[in-house]
Structure 1
Amino acid sequence: MRVLLAGASGALGHSLTPALVAAGHDVFGTTRSGNTDAIATAGATPLQMDGLDRDSVRSAVEEAKPDVIIHQLTSLRAGINPKNFDRDFATTNRLRIEGTDHLLEAARAVGVSRFLAQSFTGWTNPRTGFGGSSVPADENEPLDSQPAKESRVSLAAIRHLEEAVTAASDIEGLVLRYGGFYGPGTGFAHGEDGEMLAMVQARKLPVVGAGGGRMSFVHAVDAAAATVAAVERGAPGLYNVVDDEPARASEWIPALAAALGAKPPRHVPVWLARPLIGEHGVNWMTTSRGSSNAKAKRELGWTLAYPTWRVGFAEGL
């Protein structure tokens, strides 16, 4: 099939573009920055596109004439501070609202039959009790009704994207709620873009409080595999793309430090962390809830190369 990958130069594009090509699809990958070499090297046809420019989006979609659009548009940079979460995600939030609307409009104009969009699962889940629930959230549960003030705009943008895509009656709309990426092309990777690994190595990522908040991870290779599967199968709707085991902060941060040969992380009390990372950061570390991947494995026929973060941290970084 002809596939337009919007955001081919993003974190997941590093793994997703060659995976789509290897699956036999004719891939067109968009970038706003002008760095087209990596997209071409991966076997895709590069296209210039600004997701916030309606005419630019329409032009790219008309040129690609895709059967499927994959919306992976984000604008993430190093140095994101949970205390300023909405500010640091401002452009990504616009892409989740305006970019989604532009792509859906263009998709309808050229007769695209299937539309996949990137969302997120983790801090967006409803929280149940201090320390985080041990029961992973599935796709039937609503988004958190009481997000921290620092992340309300970001959650509203995620809600817009999910509702716009899944409510489409004329297009098969699938929303892929990815967990925290790690591996090549992400912040959890070796090299100049590996901000999170650098923080762990420098002991700048402490465990807050008891570290009971749970995070669902997914290796970039596995996230790409799930996305390729969703191009061809799966009913419209929401899918959590995460590994098998949500990880407590008190476990995954020390495990990552050990995998890197770094010193164990520091521990700081909640009262000391709150002024530095805000309520959103404290929630992430103490009360966030993991997600279930049962639906994605069952309905997409998805299998993971790194079924848990424990295996992935040891072998997949």
Structure 2
Amino acid sequence: MRAARREKLMRVFVTGATGALGRHLVPGLVAAGHQVTATTRSPGKVAQLRAAGAEPVIVDGLDREAVITAVLAAEPDVIVHQMTALAQMRGLRNVDRVFAATNELRTRGTDNLLAAAARAGTRRVVAQGHNFVYERSGGPIKTEEDPVVARPIRSAERTIAAIKYVDRTVPQTAEEGIVLRYGTFYGPGASDPMVEAVRKRQLPIIGGGTGIWSFIHTADAAAATLAAIERGTPGVYNVVDDEPAPVAQWLPYLAEVAGAKPPVRLPAWVGRLLAGEFVVAQMTEVRGASNEKAKKELGWEPRFASWREGFRDWVK
């Protein structure tokens, strides 16, 4: 059953507000009439947040006392946890090394926000998750009730553990804890290096390209986040488009709309040598996700129901 929408305008505390999703979310919240306090670690991004209509706050999500002080000052009705540190992300041979700072934000940073929520009396906390957390076996499309991965690939153990930590801790600790398991982000500023790699033929199809991906445009992810701020029962929600697709289908299409040659194909053993076990698993074994729960309970519909039209809009 869909939870009733909160009709009142709210004070919303958004962390990670200048990220790929936050750049859509903050203006959306302001347009909806909510009062937004938005955090950044960079003084250079304060003007950007103020121009979007938010009250900017410079705070490091790993500084517990600073986080608590900022939240107490804002007195939010809702806290939104979008903290990541992915600006310099490159190859994924060693996932845990690439995501080390983000993993800290997903563990210690989450604890800090939950402690601040408790101190401030903030009932609702909406946090960022990821649908790559599902087991890479069983049916091709996963719902929120399906099991998460029990034995992650060694190079990604700490990263998967951090995602699972958010999944488990936010609904258990916050009075109204919601985790949004986003699909793979795309859109301007979110995954531009992917298009560059496709044009340079540096993103191959590995094995049979049988890994099934669920995508979400960052604007659609922000719309789902706004919906979760305003309504929805506590728990986890897949935030993905309507068309999970195997790599062998979506990657050649992305190359086509990007005006590139078709992607090269590599056997799995070569992929392991060049890119590592995690990338091969994503290309050959990962499962997609269903968005039915988010549609039903959050009253949300993605503008780009399929990555097909979303890719065209993004690349142009």
The answer to whether the aligner puts 1:22 opposite 2:27 as a matched pair is no
Paired letter, 2:236: L
Report how many residues are paired.
Answer: 305
Hey, what does 1:59 align to over in structure 2? Answer: 69
Q: 1:175 aligns with which of 167, 172, 179?
A: 179
Stretches of structure 1 that go unaligned for 5 or more consecutive residues are 188-193
State the distance in 2 between where 1:120 and 1:59 align: 29
Instruction: Provide the rounded CA distance (Å) in 2 between the counterparts of 1:33 and 1:252.
Output: 36
- The counterpart of 1:158, out of the listed 160, 163, 178, is 163
Q: Does 1:201 align with 2:199?
A: yes
TM-superposed deviation, 1:212: 0.3
Instruction: Quote the Cα distance in structure 2 between the aligned partners of 1:79 and 1:14.
Output: 19
Distance 1:223 1:264 in 2: 29
Q: Match of 2:7?
A: none
Report if aligned partners of 1:78, 1:195 keep a CA contact under 8 Å in 2.
Answer: no
Give the conservation status (yes or no) of the 8 Å contact 1:254–1:265. Answer: yes
CA distance in 2, matches of 1:79, 1:306: 26
Report Cα offsets for 1:237-276 as digits up to 9, x if no partner.
Answer: 0000000111211111111111111111111111111022
Q: TM-score, normalised by structure 2?
A: 0.94
CA distance in 2: counterparts of 1:266 and 1:41, whole angstroms: 44
Deviation at 1:316?
3.7
- After TM superposition, the structure 1 = structure 2 runs for residues 281-300 of structure 1, keeping only pairs within 5 Å, are 281-300=279-298
> Which residue of structure 2 aligns with residue 233 of structure 1?
231
Counterpart in the other structure of 2:131: 121
Q: Which runs of 5+ in 2 are unaligned?
A: 1-9
Inter-partner Cα distance in structure 2 for 1:42 and 1:77 = 21
Amino acid at match of 1:127: R
- Match of residue 37 from structure 1: 47
Corresponding position of 2:107 = 97
Q: Separation in 1 of the partners of 2:84 and 2:39?
A: 12
Q: 1:47 aligns with which of 51, 54, 57?
A: 57
User: Given residue 188 of structure 2, which amino acid in structure 1 is its aligned partner?
Assistant: P
1:186 aligned onto 2:196: no
Distance 1:258 1:36 in 2: 39
Aligned identity (percent) is 49
How many angstroms apart in 2 are the aligned matches of 1:40 and 1:142? 41
The 2-side partners of 1:173 and 1:165 are apart by 5
TM-score of the superposition, structure 1-length normalised?
A: 0.94
Shift of 1:79: 4.1
Which amino acid in the other structure matches residue 27 of structure 2?
A: P
Name 1:141's counterpart in structure 2. Answer: 146
Root mean square deviation, CA, Å? 1.2
Q: SS where residue 36 of structure 1 aligns? A: helix
Q: What secondary structure does 1:75 align onto?
A: coil
* Letter aligned with residue 12 of structure 1: L
Determine the structure 2 residue equivalent to 1:112. 122
